[in-house]
Copies of this chain bind each other. A is one copy, B any other.
Amino acid sequence: MEVTRRTFKDTLSVICSAVEEADFLAIDGEFSGLSDGPAVSMLTNGMDTPEERYSKLRKHSMDFLLFQFGICTFRYDQSQSKYFTKAFNFYIFPKPFSRASPDIKFICQSSSIEFLASQGFDFNKVFRDGIPYLNQEEESQLREQYEERRNQSNGVGTPSYISPTSCKGPMNIPEEHKDFINRVVEKVEALLNNSEKTVDLEPCSGFQRKLIYQTLNWKFPKGLHIETIENDKKERFIQISKVDEEERRRIEQQKHEREQEELNDAVGFSRVIHAISKSGKLVVGHNMLLDVMHTIHQFYCPLPEELDDFKEVTMCVFPRLLDTKLMASTQPFKELVTNTSLAELEKQLKEKPFKAPKVECSEGFQSYDTASEQLHEAGYDAYITGLCFISMANYLGSFLTPPRAHISSRSKLIEPFYNKLFLMRVADIPYMNISGPDLQPKRDNVLYVTFPKEWKTSDLYQLFSAFGNIQVSWVDDTSAFVSLSQLDQVQIAMNTSQYAESYRIQTYAEYMQAKQKNAHTHRKWGDDGWAEPPYRTVAMTAASAVHDRCTLRGKRSISPTQDNQNSNFSTAESTWSNYSTTKRIKKDGAVSTDPSNSKTTDDWLRTTNESGASESPGNEAPSDDTWPQSSANQNQGSQARSSGLFDVPQVW
């Protein structure tokens, strides 16, 4: 279902109930660009830490506009053993709400625009009929403005134009406006003494209107209703009506309701995101880090500077996320999927050993045909992302005894993939862990090399030719990371470089330390040059803004839930690691790890659990506190405990 400004209001309740009834939903966004800084390949360095990656994306990607948002809801019908889908394709545009509202500027990147254009993207729909939106701060500012205007026309409060140095009251009318104001007062006196009901004043300036409000509220505190009206020529004039108190109150009430509706219209698409957030439903995306960042940035609050603060906000807005690209890149799928791009993945997940999921388009909704691809329409991409998730989830069911054809989106089998967002092009940190500390690879074999601008990759190959195979990740014109394949060569390479003049080599640890120093941050560093997991428990401004909404929502739980007695899955401490090694299923259905096969993956799988977060709760006696909890969580611990937001049916 295509949703524009014209249809949004009438569709909102349909959207909200689709979200409410859904088992899970998939999302996808289309943007006006990807990177306003260096090329994306440069931006996403293979040696980025999650902090660095977040910081780069925040700096270089948030000025683009998320202008198409796809949502596809999936509801499982037990009796028919199939999913019913409702796909929505929203066009989004920050149409200025009024003269006073923010006039958003956004960047377009010609390569992205060109790409979308080549896919038949309808820019006219975005710009002519896009649904407006406000973030939380803009929304409250607008609310305040309304409030202030109400107070002003009620004669309450301090009109903002009065300077702090001048005394309050109507004596401040500048000389050249005195005649004008006197004439207005005369007109009003005439109105009060004749049989007319209203009088329209001439159009005048905003300043003059303020003077009129101020003067009349002071001179005639009762019996008048004063209102600013725009005529056909867009000029504003004041209309004054004689009213008794009751009528005045009724008019005020009507006006208030009209304003509330205007305000809701202005909040626009953000209300959909609020509804998703409020539902607490599992939100699935494909390579969804940028989607999540943009969604929060555009509809909640400017992104916080620190990654940990971003994680906290994210968990507040989207308590359960799942990234199908990360899922497909992880065992047991890793070995079976050759290409994790969305379109290819969707095709492969229809073939053996996977099965195309049984889905049906809900009545009244346009059905997508995966044969005639409509890729890069956000609604379609969300739809096939959901299909990918179902195929992969169901595949996990084949390992159970007895095997199950359908695995619920609330199943424990899915949990290891929760809140882990795919990190593009980082070999040794495959994901950003939104609900806990990130994996911390040693990178003992990585050197940071600085050199003259003229150097090319071949120079680096030559320089390191004596130290075995290398991998080069460019940082900028004059520096790169060089990974040696043999750890014992690192010290030798360092020693060799001691007297070099044209280039300089640092260990990765030295590089990180220097970087950290430059950034003037106050994180503690361990003996091995690695940062102590700095997962903060102090809420910050951005998060607390969102947090307010979370609290309002009253029941926020990111804890897995009960009824796991039937689970016969591995109870190993790290279920995640199990997936990440070669699949070896025992007859009884338990998965065992095969350490011989986890040579390269093993390193990044050993998460450092200093903060007490365990990757998976396993299937011990269920506990609400198994997951790492931010302060926001802790504040609500009791609430979360008392309400079973997720009543997981016994599905396997």
Contacts and interface: CB of A to CB of B under 8 A. Distances in A.
Contact of A110 (B104, B163, B165, B207): B104
A353 interface: no
Interface string A19-49: 0000000000000110010010000000000
Contacts of A604: none
A363 interface: no
Nearest to A163: B459
A253 interface: no
Nearest to A128: B117
A164 B454 contact: yes
A14 interface: no
A166 B462 contact: yes
Contacts of A108: 32, 65, 105-108
Number of copies: 2
Contacts of A127: 113-114, 116-117, 123
Contact of A465 (B161, B175, B452): B175
A462 B117 contact: no
A96 B110 CA distance: 7
Contacts of A113: 93, 127
B110 A459 contact: no
Contacts of A462: 163, 166, 172, 174
B111 A458 contact: no
A372 B122 CA distance: 27
Contacts of A103: 39, 109-111
A496 interface: no
Contacts of A166: 458-459, 462
A163 B458 contact: yes
Nearest to A64: B105
Contacts of A452: 164
A461 interface: yes
A428 to B, nearest CB: 21
A519 to B, nearest CB: 27
A109 B118 CA distance: 24
A106 B110 CA distance: 8
A358 interface: no
A134 to B, nearest CB: 13
Interface string A163-200: 11110000010111000000000000000000000000
Contacts of A111: 96, 103
Given A105-B107, A110-B103, A111-B103, A207 B36 contact: no
A108 B462 CA distance: 46
A465 B176 CA distance: 10
A477 B23 CA distance: 52
Contacts of A93: 110, 113-114
A95 interface: yes
A110 B123 contact: no
A36 B163 CA distance: 30
Contacts of A123: 123-124, 126-127
A457 interface: yes
Contact of A161 (B33, B162, B164, B456): B456
A218 interface: no
A168 to B, nearest CB: 12
A454 B465 CA distance: 67
A329 to B, nearest CB: 22
Nearest to A175: B465
A221 to B, nearest CB: 22
Contacts of A365: none
Given A94-B110, A95-B114, A117-B128, A33 B105 contact: yes
Interface string A455-469: 111110110010001
A458 B94 contact: no
Nearest to A63: B107
A317 B460 CA distance: 46
B162 A458 contact: yes
Given A93-B110, A95-B114, A174-B465, 13 more contacts: A33-B105, A105-B107, A117-B128, A123-B123, A160-B456, A161-B457, A161-B458, A162-B458, A164-B452, A164-B454, A165-B502, A166-B459, A166-B462
Top 6 A-B residue pairs of the complex, sorted by shortest distance between their CB atoms: A174-B461, A163-B459, A123-B123, A117-B128, A117-B127, A104-B110
15 contacts: A36-B105, A96-B111, A105-B107, A105-B110, A106-B107, A107-B108, A117-B127, A118-B128, A122-B124, A123-B126, A124-B124, A161-B456, A165-B502, A166-B458, A175-B461
